[in-house]
Amino acid sequence: GENVEQHPSTLSVQEGDSAVIKCTYSDSASNYFPWYKQELGKGPQLIIDIRSNVGEKKDQRIAVTLNKTAKHFSLHITETQPEDSAVYFCAATESNTGNQFYFGTGTSLTVIP
């Protein structure tokens, strides 16, 4: 089955700096890669996703990049704000036949004001 690794497990940045979280996956059949943000006391929420037919996707201050050859994808948050503090999860699946997402182990991001 798929194995998703995520690094770092914790990340602290100063407000206004950028944050990068990296994930690797093992199954070359995986073709859909969502990112989830989990705020304290809440469920994970989808914030951005990328499919294997594109290399980069942006949505305001967040972006995701995908390198299919190397089997890794990354989340980039620019101009970080205190409200970005949360746990972030990457995930992977084969979107046509897969029956579950394979999640990374999470990154706890703290943005220091």
CA distances from 92 to 14, 45, 83 (A): 29, 15, 25
**Single residue of 44, 62, 64, 111 touching another protein by CB under 8 A:** 44
Establish if 37 lies at the interface with another protein (CB under 8 A): no
State phi, psi for 110 to the nearest 5 degrees.
Answer: -120, 125
Instruction: Name which of residues 94 to 113 contact another protein (CB under 8 A).
Output: 95-101, 103, 105-106, 108
CA dist., res. 29 & res. 95, Å (int): 9
Is-contact 93 30, C-beta < 8 A? yes
12 vs 15, beta carbon nearer another protein? 12
Is 32 a residue that touches another protein (CB under 8 A)? yes
List of residues contacting another protein (CB under 8 A): 32, 34, 36, 38, 41-46, 49, 51, 87, 89, 93, 95-101, 103, 105-106, 108
